[in-house]
Chain A
Amino acid sequence: MKVKVLSRNPDDYLRETKRDIHKTPRNYDPNLHPFESAREYVRALNAVKLERVFAKPFVGSLDGHRDGISCLSKHPKQLSILLSGSYDGEIRIWDVPQKLCIRSFVAHDGIVRSITYEPKGRCFFTLGDDKTIKTWNTAAPSSPEDEEPINTILSKTVVTGISHHQSKPIFATCGEICQIWEESRSEPIHTYKWGVDSLHDIAFNPIESNLLATCASNRSIILYDTRDTGPLRKVIMKLRPNRLVWNPMEAFIFTCANEDYNLYSFDTRWLKKPVNVHVDHVSAVIDLDYSPTGKEFVSGSYDKSIRIFEAGKGHSREIYHTKRMQRLTCVLWSLDNKYILSGSDEMNIRIWKARASEKLGTLKPRERTALQYSEVLKEKYATHPQIRRIARHRQVPKHIYNAQNELRTIKQKIKRKEANRRTHSKKGEVPFVPERTKHIVKEDI
C-alpha cells in the first residue's frame, strides 16, 4: 500500500515576517480561472469607464500677454522653453514646467506674425507687420533694457510667415512673394513667385529638407524646391488652406488646416486628391501641429475647441475645450509627445495633456503593468457596443453640439438633393463625387 494525501506546509505559503510581501502561488490552469472572457470584458468595461473618469486634460495656463496670442514656437532642444508672440508685438519666453515668463520684450510694431527657432536653438527669428525680420539671441541679456536684436532685416515686401531650413543657415519667408534668405545676408538669395496672390504660410520639410510648401490666398498650396529656380507644383482647393504642416516622420505627407472646417492630408507625389480628409470641426481650422511621432496631430479651430486626430483616420479621437477658451490661434505638440500647447484670442496660453487620462509623473512598475493590461483589454473589447459607446462619448459645448446638428442637416439635405437630381436625370449626368475629390479644384504643374 502506497498512500499520500495532500498536506501543505504552511511555512511555504505564509510570509515569514510582517514586513514581507504576501506569498501568492500561481497556477495558470485554465480550469481554475473560469469565465475568462466574461471577466475580461468586465475589466475592459471598468478600464474604459476609469479612463473617462480620469480624463482631465487641462494642466495649466500661462497668462501675461496683453493681447491675443498670434504665434507659438517650441525650442528644438529644450522641452521647457516656449516662445509666444502676440498681436501687440510682444514676445514672451516661458518656462513651461514652472509656468513662468522668463523674458519679455516688444519686438515689432503691430502683430508678430511668425516666430521660428534656428534648428540648434541658439537664436530665433521673428517677423512682424512692420516688414522686418529680426534675429534674437536665445540667451537673455543682462538687463531687460539691453534687449536688442542681433540682426534686423528690412524686407521690401510684406512678410507673414517664416520657416527655417532643417540644417543649413537658410530660412524662407512668405508674404507677397516667397523668399529664401541666408542668415548672414540682408538680401534674399532667391525669390519665387507664381501668380499675383499673396502667401500666408510657409513650411520647410524637415526630412526632405530642400522642399518647401506655402499656402496662398487664392486657395492654393504651392510646392517649391530651393535648389530649383521656379516653383514646382500647386494644388487649388475650394476654400483657403490656413496652415500647412509636414509630417515629421513621413517626408511626403503634409496636412493643411482649411477654412472649410476640415483638414486635408496630402501626398506630395499625388496632389490630385488628398489621401485623407479629417472632419469634425464645426468652424474654420486655424492651426495644426504634428506630434513628434507623426502618428497624430492636433488642430485648433475658430469653434473654440482643440481636436486631436490620428494621422490615418478621418475623425478626431479627442476634443478639448473650456468655458473660457476663445477662438484658437495657434497650437503646438510638445517634443516629448506628452503635452499640447494652445494659444487663443483671449491672451492665454494653455497646457494640455496629449492623452487626456494619462497619469503624470513616474509610475510604479505595478501601476504601469496594470495600465498596460487595461490598455490591451480596451483594445481587445473595443468593438463591444457598450465599451465603444463609453470610449467615444465626449461632452461638447452647446454651440458645438448645435453646430454639429446643423452641419449634419445641411449635409443630409445636399445628399438628398443630389440623389433626387440623380433619379430625375439621365444616367451618368449627375456623377458620384467622392468626398476626397470634392474639395479640390485642380492641380497645376
Chain B
Amino acid sequence: MTKTARYFTAPSEEQKPNAEEKTSQKRKGNVGRLKNKKPAFPKGKPKKTDIILKRKPNPNPKFPGRAPIPEELLEKHSRGEGIQKDGIRTKIHKKRQFDKDLSYEFAQKQAARVEILLTEEDGILEADPGETTTQFRQNEIVQNVDITAATKFFELQLRDFGPYRASYTRNGRHLALGGRLGHVAAFDWVTKKLHFEINVMESVHDVCWLHIETMLAVAQKDWVYIYDNQGIELHCLKSLDKVTQMQFLPYHFLLATANDTGFLSWLDVSIGEIVVQYNAKLGRINMMTQNPYNAAICVGSSKGVVSMWAPNSRDPLAKMLCHKSAISALHIDPKGLYMATAGNDRTLKIWDIRSLTGPLQIYNLKSTANNVAFSQKQMLAVGMGNILEVYRDCCVTTAKKGYLRHRFNNSIANLNFCPYEDVLGVGSSHGFTSILVPGAGEANFDAFEANPYQTKSQRKESEVKALLEKIPSDLISLDPTKISEVDVPSLREKVEATKKLLFVKPPKINYDPRRKAKGKGGSVKIARNKKILQEQAKKEFVKAAKSFKAELLNESKNEQKEKSKPANVLDRFLPKQKK
C-alpha cells in the first residue's frame, strides 16, 4: 500500500502529552502553589519553564509530518533568490532581511501547497501507437469529446464582408469580429448569444476589446471608434487616424495603436487622453503585438527587424534583427518568455524574449507563415495560406512534427487562441472558425484576474478595483520588476550625472521690482535694473561653475598623479612637473 500524502498536520500527537507527563506536571503545579501561592492554572500563556519534559520522537511515526513539496512547484512560485546578506553591514538589518526572507519562503511554500486545490485538469490529445495526432480531423475530435466541448467547434460562414479579424476578451468569454468590408459583430461565443451586429459602412482594420466586455474599439477607415456591447458608438477617436493595428494593455489601461504612416500612439482609455504619440519611423506598420510580461509593444518591420516600444521613450527599448527578409508574422507567448517570428524566407524562429538572444529554434516551413499565435500553454499555431498547423513543445525543444493540422477552404487572415479554453479562433476571408486544440488553454483561472463566469456586479467591482490599480504608463520598461529593485546608479549613470553638472545653464531669475512712487522709476530703469541683476547672477554662476569644473578636473588629475608615483629610485632626477 502506498502512503497517502498529507498536507495538513494533525494536532493529535503534538498536543496530547502522555499520562506520565500529565501527572508530573500536576505535581509540579501543586508544589508551586504551596510555595508561591500561585494558582494551579495560571492565566494566560504557560511559561517556558513549566514544560520541562520533552516528547521523545516516535521512531516510526504513522504520519511523518507535512508532505514534501515537489521541487518544480517551489520553483514555479519562486520570486527569486533574494538578496545576498554579505553586503548588509549591520546585524539588525541582517536580522530584518533574514526575517523577511523567511516570510517570503513561507508564502512560496503555501502557494505551492495550494496547487493541490486546483480543480480542473488540462486537455489532452494522445495518439495510439501507429497513429499521429496530426491525422485527427476536427470532426473526429468533436465526436470524441463531451457535448459542451463539442459546441465550441463552430464555423461562421460570412462570405460577403471579407477577411475577418477576431478578438477575445481577457476572460475568454466574448468574441468580437471585424470584417474588412465593415461588418462588426460581438457575441458571447460560449452561449452563442449575439450582443450586436452592425455594418459600419467603411473598412475595418482591427477590432480590440477594452478592459471589459461592454467596450470594443474598432479601427475603421479613418478613425478609431469605440462601441458598447449593443453596438452604440460611444466615442470617435479622431486623434487615432488610419490605424492598422491595435493592442490593449489591460493593466495600464492603454490602447496602443499603430497606423498607416508609422505613428505609434498610446491612449489612456480611463481618462480618454493620448499619453504619447510619435512616429516610429518604420513606415506603414502591419504587424504589432504586445509583450504581456512587460507591456512593451513589439513591431515587426519589412527589414526583418523587431523593435520594442514604450510610451516613455521615443527610441525603441530594443531592436532585434530576426530575419534577413521581411517579417510576415510575430507573436509573444502570454508568459512573456518566447517570441515567434515568421519571415518571408519561409522560416519560423523562436526567440528568448527576456534575454533578447536566440534564436532558440529555427523551423523551415513549406510556405511563408502569415499568422502565428501562442496559446497560454505555449502551443504555437501557424497559419500558412489556407493551412493551419499547431505545434507543441516547440520553444525549448525542437518539435519534430506538428500537433494538429487543419486545412481551410480559403486563406487564414487571423489567429487567436481563446484564453482559458482549448479553442483557437481562426478568421479567414470567408468567415470565422473556432476549432478545438486540446491542451491549449490554462485550465484553472484566477477569479480576481479573469473570470469567465463573472456576473454583472462582479464585473463592476473588478473594474473599479482594476482602475484603482492602474499602473502608470511610465513604468513600462523591458524589466517590469525594476520598481522593486534596489536603485543603484551604474557607473555610466554616475559619470553622466557629473558630466551634466558641467553643462548646466545659468538659472533665469525672476525679478519683480518693487512698485515705487510715481515718477521715481520708469520702465527703462526697471528693465536696466533687471538686466544688471540677471548679469550679476550669471557672473556668479559662471564663477561657481568654473571653480567646480576645476575641482572636478583636479580630482581626475590627482587620481592620475597618485597612480604615477615614482616607482624607481632614479625617478627623482626626472624634471619636475609643473602645477
Measuring CB to CB, which residues of chain A are less than 8 angstroms from any residue of chain B? 1-8, 10, 12-14, 22-43, 46, 384
| Interface residue from B152, B292, B484 paired with A34 (Cβ < 8 Å) | B292
Q: Across the interface, which residues of A come within 8 angstroms of B141, CB to CB?
A: 3, 5
Question: Which B129-149 residues have C-beta < 8 A from chain A?
Answer: 131, 136, 140-141, 144-146, 148-149
A25 and B438 contact, CB distance less than 8 A: no
Give bound CA distance, A27 to B484, whole Å: 23
Cα distance A36–B293 when bound, in Å?
10
Q: Is B122 among interface residues, defined by CB-CB distance under 8 A?
A: yes
Nearest-CB distance from A388 to chain B (Å)?
Answer: 13
18 contacts between A and B (CB under 8 A): A1-B144, A2-B126, A3-B126, A3-B144, A5-B145, A5-B436, A6-B149, A7-B149, A28-B111, A28-B114, A28-B115, A29-B76, A29-B444, A30-B77, A32-B446, A35-B251, A38-B251, A39-B251
Residues of A with C-beta under 8 A to B123: 3-6
Would you list the 5 A-B pairs with minimal beta carbon distance, nearest first? A37-B484, A24-B447, A7-B149, A5-B149, A2-B126
B441 touches A6 (CB 8 A): yes
The answer on a CB contact under 8 Å between B448 and A24 is yes
Nearest B residue to A25, CB-CB = B447
Tell me which of A6, A34, A35, A40 has the highest count of chain B C-beta atoms within 10 A of its own C-beta.
A6
Given contacts A24-B448, A32-B442, A34-B292, contact A6 B422 (CB under 8 A): yes
Indicate whether A4 sits within 8 Å of B469 (C-beta atoms), given known contacts A10-B453, A32-B442, A37-B481.
no
Q: Say whether, besides A6-B441, A42-B471, A34 and B251 are in contact (CB < 8 Å).
A: yes
What is the distance, in angstroms, from B76's C-beta to the closest C-beta of chain A?
7
Closest CB-CB distance, B109 to chain A, in whole Å?
Answer: 12
Knowing A6-B120, A35-B471, the reply to whether A1 touches B442 (Cβ < 8 A) is no
Residue of A nearest to B450 (CB): A32
Return the chain B residue nearest A7 by Cβ. B149
Q: A33-B446, A34-B292 are in contact. Are A22 and B455 (CB under 8 A)?
A: yes
Q: Of A5, A40, A42, A384, which contacts B438 at CB under 8 A?
A: A5
Asked if B446 contacts A7 (CB within 8 A), the reply is: no
Across the interface, name the chain A residue whose C-beta is closest to B443: A6
Is B334 in contact with chain A by the CB < 8 A criterion? yes
Quick check: is B281 within 8 A (CB to CB) of the other chain?
no
* Complexed CA–CA distance, A192 and B334 (Å): 80
* Interchain CA distance A30-B482 in the complex, whole Å: 17
Shortest distance from the beta carbon of B554 to any chain A beta carbon, whole Å: 19
Contact between B472 and A42, CB atoms less than 8 A apart: yes
Closest to B144 in A: A3
In the complex the two chains form, what is the Cα distance from A384 to B483 in whole Å? 9
Q: Which residues of A have CB within 8 Å of B468?
A: 42-43, 46
User: What residue in chain A is nearest B147 (Cβ atoms)?
Assistant: A7
List, in ascending order, chain B residues with CB within 8 A of A34's CB: 251, 292-293, 336, 480
Q: Are A3 and B438 in contact (CB under 8 A)?
A: yes
A290 to B146, CA, bound (A): 70
Tell me the complex Cα distance, A235–B484, Å: 47
B422 CB to closest chain A CB, in angstroms?
5
Q: Once the chains bind, are A27 and B446 in contact (CB under 8 Å)? A: yes
- Partner of B120 from A8, A23, A30, A38 at Cβ < 8 Å: A8
Are B292 and A25 touching (Cβ within 8 A)? no
A2 contacts which chain B residues (CB < 8 A)? 124-126, 128
Q: B268 on the interface (CB 8 Å rule)?
A: no
C-alpha spacing A38/B251, complex, angstroms: 10
Q: Is the CB of A41 within 8 A of B122?
A: no
Q: Name B133's closest neighbour in chain A (CB-CB).
A: A1
**What CA separation (Å) do A3 and B136 show in the bound complex?**
10
A34 to B335, CA, bound (A): 8
B449, A1: Cβ atoms closer than 8 Å:
no
What string of 1s and 0s marks CB contacts (under 8 Å) between B481-519 and chain A? 111100000000000000000000000000000000000
